[in-house]
Structure 1
Amino acid sequence: MNILYDHQAFTVQDVGGVSRYYRALLDHAAPDVQSHVPVLVSNNVYLQDRRHTSHVGFFPGQSFRGRFSFMWKLNRLACRRALRRGEFDVFHPTLIDDPYFLDEVQDKPMVITLHDMIPMLFTEQYPQTNVEIITRIAQRANQIIAVSEHTRADILRLLPVSPERVTVVPHGFTPGPAARLVVPDGYLLYVGTRSGYKNFDCLLQALAQLVRQPGLHELRLVCAGGGKPTEAEQDRLQELGLAGNVQFAGLLQEAELAGLYCGAAAFVFPSHYEGFGFPILEAFAQECPVVLSNASCFPETAQDAALYFDPNQPADLAQQLHLLLREPALRRQLTQLGTLRLADFTWTQAAERTRAVYRAAREQPQPQPVLI
């Protein structure tokens, strides 16, 4: 079976969860699956070894990746040509931002992966979202992969697609090396962007309550990724009396991020919504206790391997963190449960389930458009 992936995730991302997902599918494909990725120019770190492409890099770290950049245009042209040749059994676009392929794929089977429905649920934060394009692509897809049951439910609620065309295939995870950083152990760890539905202020309010407790005055929060603190965030830290308790680590290599998980007293994920919650698996892999919002997909992903709190109640989060910090036995129990839970997420399983979706797409008739 020949699978054609397109360029989009590998063009717009130098590093990131979506392009890492597709690289994992490429690496763990079954022997009877041949994959092609027509990328001519890319700075994506997951393609650097050229195992799946013969592309060239171009000024890594520079911004040449936008929808109207030369890199995007070259790679889209290569994908158009591959689509027109038709030498594939299933087409799997890596993003659905650009509908260029709808006119090229013709009657070939198509599969898409929807990692979350955030752009349609939080339109005020994603004003560029084109609901009509997302709907057209979803209707055209023979099969849709959802990364969690929670995401599948949102897809069926928000898009006019039939349930038999939406299959859950959870992510896998392969632990990598951890680089120990020069950061004293015992901090709380937050990973990712910090605006809107990420609910970062809930964590700050909880931390402000914790540092007033005896023995916790110097408790620190380390924020990885998400960029430098904004002026509004700096003002908020001053307002809460946390200016000396929060450190922003910026963008890190994977081994450096793994090192931060290793040294953390807890990883905290306060978000109101996620499609899967990949950092949970990263924390499990480094035996880092996990404290999660009880919203969205989190209970599905972590099950009993985490503590949970109400994302609208900073005091609830502070209480769970205080409990975790003073109970070494609880931390050990959570890390043991996290290790067991991690065994349920392998890329071999994910690739095999994805292959089953490809087979289903080949056997399904062309979906009929639904009027919206």
Structure 2
Amino acid sequence: MKVLLDLQYLNVATTGIKTYMLELANASSAYPHPDIEWIFTHDPDIQAQDSTYRFPKNKIQRLNYHLDYFRWKEFQLPDLVKKHQPDLLICPDFVSPAAALPCRRMTVIHDAFFWEMPQNYPVWWRKYFLNLVKKGLKEPTEIITTTEFSKRALQKHLKLNHPVTVIYQSQKTLGDAIDAEFLASQTLKKGEYFLHIGTFDKRKNLPVLVKAFAEMLKNTRSNFKLVLAGGAGQSVQMNDLPVVKKLVEELGLVEKVVLPGFVTDAQVKALYSAAFGYVFPSENEGFGIPVLEAMAEGVPVIHSDQPALVEVAGGAGLVTQTGDVADLSEKMILLSQDQILRDTLQKKGLERSKEFGPEKFIRAFQQRILSAAH
């Protein structure tokens, strides 16, 4: 069976979708199936390094990207389908071509953010993008999503008859390289900081984390720091980085909150290797890759009671009430003072992370691909 995997979006993806696409492409090569032939629209490594349209600086650059994306989905990708004649087309970035194609389709819709959190997106762009999504679903399509929570949300908002299948994705493969100098450059010591890695999107609730951390310091007089690693939110509406910076200054935490910006995989490994705990207070997630990454590195995790995170963590994390500063502060204090709890979370986290991974990820896809063939 011949499968065409659309990897064009890797040239702008910076969040969990990038991890999803790279892990899927790499796993398809690492764990082949004798009955499945994979064809990539782009070399994944080269496409992921293409920064032509990443982080556009003005409206003209953004417009050029949208035109390029539309041209790809509606003209160039259908041409590739005609050229390669696959049995199945997989689009892992929400959007499939609107044109009728001589093959089956799988479209990955990672979450329902566009429907549930419209305030986080420019009005015209959201309307345009959702129109692309819906047009691509007019043809017979199997929707793939990341959690049972996301499946229920999509069924509620899309109201379509397409089958929706949950395939748990893999956490990011970080490799063995570690930046040994990074912690010292950020004045960080082993076991003396809480960690969060990800963009400063509003839904991540990072101002809540900063306030909770301030309460923790006030009530314990501890020497902990808080590391918030990652780039700005993906749009002006979504970006909480200015809010966080202002809050850090107002609360007198300039020496306590570390903002290293975007970090490489080797720097991520370094941060995980010495973190006391990982905190993920997000109000809305489709999956929550960092939860599994931290667990796999032996870091105890505190996460919000957002359903997708509860589902993915599987009881291996310490749960806090979403948006509740006092409760999050109490959970951070509890973790800092209860060694038995910390040891238990580390053990459970390591076991839970084994339930995910690239081989299980691709085997689930292979099963769906072959089921579609029949």
TM-score range with shorter-chain normalisation?
Answer: 0.7 to 0.9
Q: Residue 347 of structure 2: SS of its match in structure 1?
A: helix
How far residue 266 of structure 1 moved from its aligned partner, in angstroms, is 0.7
Aligned to 2:139: 140
Q: Does 1:5 align with 2:1?
A: no
Distance across 2 between alignment mates of 1:315 and 1:30: 50
Q: Is the aligned partner of 1:204 residue 2:210?
A: yes
Specify which of 282, 297, 312 is matched with residue 286 of structure 1: 297
Equivalent residue in structure 1 for 2:270, among 237, 249, 259: 259
Match of 2:228 among 215, 223, 227: 223
Q: Give yes or no for the alignment of 1:353 onto 2:348.
A: no
Q: For residues 289-300 of structure 1, what are the structure 2 equivalents within 5 Å? A: 289-300=300-311
Q: What does residue range 52-67 of structure 1 map to in structure 2 within 5 Å?
A: none
Q: Percent identity?
A: 23
Contact 1:14–1:43 (CA under 8 A) maintained in structure 2: no
Deviation at 1:123, TM superposition (A): 1.1
- Structure 1 residue matching 2:286: 3-state secondary structure: coil
In the superposition, relative to structure 1, how do residues 255 and 146 fare at CA in structure 2: closer, same or farther (>3 Å)? same
Which of 330, 339, 351 in structure 2 is aligned with 1:328? 339
Q: Do the aligned partners of 1:41 and 1:71 also contact (CA within 8 Å) in 2?
A: no
Could you tell me which of 310, 314, 318 is aligned with 2:325? 314
Tell me, in whole angstroms, the C-alpha distance in 2 between the residues paired with 1:139 and 1:336: 46
Q: Is the 8 A contact 1:39 1:78 kept in 2?
A: no
Take 1:139 and 1:343, find their aligned partners in 2: how far apart are those partners?
A: 37
Moved more, 225-234 or 305-314: 225-234
TM-score normalised according to structure 1 size = 0.84
How many pairs are equivalent? 348
Question: How far did residue 121 of structure 1 move?
Answer: 1.1
Which residue in 1 is equivalent to 2:126?
129
Which segment drifts farther, 323-332 or 282-291? 323-332
C-alpha displacement of 1:175 = 5.5
Name the CA shift for 1:151/1:41 in 2 (closer, same or farther; >3 Å). closer
Distance 2:121 2:51 in 1: 29
- Identify the residue that residue 52 of structure 1 maps to in structure 2: none
Matches within 5 A, 1:161-176: 161-162=160-161, 165-173=163-171, 174=173, 176=175
User: How much does 1:39 deviate?
Assistant: 2.5
- Judged with a 3 Å threshold, the aligned counterparts in structure 2 of structure 1 residues 167 and 232 are, in CA distance, closer, same or farther, namely closer
Q: Which segment is superposed worse, 24-33 or 262-271?
A: 24-33
Q: 2:5 is aligned with what amino acid?
A: Y
Give, as a single letter, the amino acid of the residue that structure 2 aligns with 1:33. I
Deviation for aligned residue 1:281: 1.1
Structure 2: distance between partners of 1:257 and 1:239: 28
Aligned partners of 1:175 and 1:285 also within 8 Å: no
Amino acid at match of 1:36: I
Matched position secondary structure for 2:227: strand
Contact 2:5 2:41 (C-alpha < 8 Å) held by counterparts? yes
Which structure shows the higher helix fraction?
Answer: 2
Q: 1:230 and 1:200 mapped to 2: Cα distance?
A: 9
CA distance in 2, matches of 1:117, 1:10: 20
Classify the secondary structure of the residue corresponding to 1:287.
coil
1:17 to 16, 19, 23: 19
1:2-36 per-residue CA deviation (whole Å, 9 max, x = no partner) reads 10112332232378323323324433342321111
State whether structure 2 residue 85 is matched by structure 1 residue 87.
yes
**AA of the residue aligned to 2:42:** V
Q: Indicate whether 1:68 and 2:69 are aligned.
A: no
Work out the CA distance in 2 between the residues paired with 1:319 and 1:94: 39
3-state secondary structure, aligned to 1:268: strand
In structure 2, the residue matched to 1:51 is: none
Q: Aligned with 1:211: secondary structure?
A: helix
Rounded Cα–Cα distance in structure 2 between residues aligned with 1:67 and 1:285: 40
- Post-superposition offset of 1:199: 1.1
Distance 1:325 1:118, change over 3 A: same
| Structure 1 unaligned spans of 5+ | 49-56, 364-372
The C-alpha deviation readout for 1:225-263, integer Å capped at 9, x for no partner, is: 124984433221122222221111111111211221121
Q: Deviations over 1:110-143 (max 9, x none)?
A: 0011111112211111222233332332343421
Aligned-CA RMSD value: 2.9
Q: 2-side partners of 1:17 and 1:159: how far apart?
A: 25
> Are the aligned partners of 1:66 and 1:72 in contact in 2 as well (CA < 8 Å)?
no
Query: Helix, strand or coil: the match of 1:308?
Result: strand
SS at match of 2:126: coil
Alignment of 1:356-367 (within 5 A): 356-363=367-374
